[in-house]
Structure 1
């Protein structure tokens, strides 16, 4: 519970920052407000097997859990960071935790990936 609260407070502060607002958004879901990608409205997730500033989700994992890719001109801003992936792409992070989408989500506000395998968590706001 404490971990969720810490992320929620940081996420709320992030949404107030102009640069972060262009990247992140929040929507209501079945589990409360969650962070989403601003352009798509799709829920963002973290993977408990990642290390700080390092993704451990590649291959089949990345097909099911696509990374939230940061464009070449994207810039880190406070708790919203960017990490280099092994495949040469750049991935958004929140407090050093790489962010992902879940291929099973179909619409804005879906949170069907929350708790999958006991290692995936929707980022609550």
Structure 2
């Protein structure tokens, strides 16, 4: 009977650990949202829109200094891809300033300070240089 008790305690500990891991993965999830006039686009787990900058090149960010004040970089250690996204399309770069940034298909990802609520896409088309990230 003692063996069964130890097994039950171990099972509870393992289940708790796994549940915590799932919650952590969801915390780093990227999802797909859809909006009339914009179409399908990527968001973080909170529903905040992710953007690309036309001056960026694969693996390299061109947004520095004042640009980052308006377009904060998006970074998570690892992405839990949701909504049919492939986690293999996400990566990480180290920027010239030494900060890490998450990429999608090699292109750096950003938020826009003009987006105040989940689902906002106020950065779409800004100066014809910024766009939501289409899956």
CA RMSD of aligned residues (A): 2.3
**1:80 & 1:91 partners in 2: Cα distance?**
10
Q: Which runs of 5 or more residues in structure 1 are unaligned?
A: 1-18
**2:26 & 2:61 partners in 1: Cα distance?**
21
Q: Give the alignment's TM-score, normalised by structure 2.
A: 0.68
Q: Name the structure where helix makes up a greater proportion of residues.
A: 2
Residues 54-103 of structure 1: CA distance to partner in whole angstroms, max 9, x if unpaired?
011011100100010234xx37x411111101222211101111000011
Q: Which has the higher contact order (CA 8 A, sep 6+)?
A: 1
**1:51 maps to which residue?**
57
Q: Which runs of 5 or more residues in structure 2 are unaligned?
A: 1-24, 80-86
- The alignment covers a number of residue pairs equal to 104
1:82 corresponds to 2:88: no
Q: Which has the larger radius of gyration?
A: 2
Tell whether the 8 Å contact from 2:28 to 2:76 is kept in structure 1 after alignment: no
2:67 to 61, 86, 105: 61
**1:108 & 1:94 partners in 2: Cα distance?**
20
1:91 corresponds to 2:101: yes
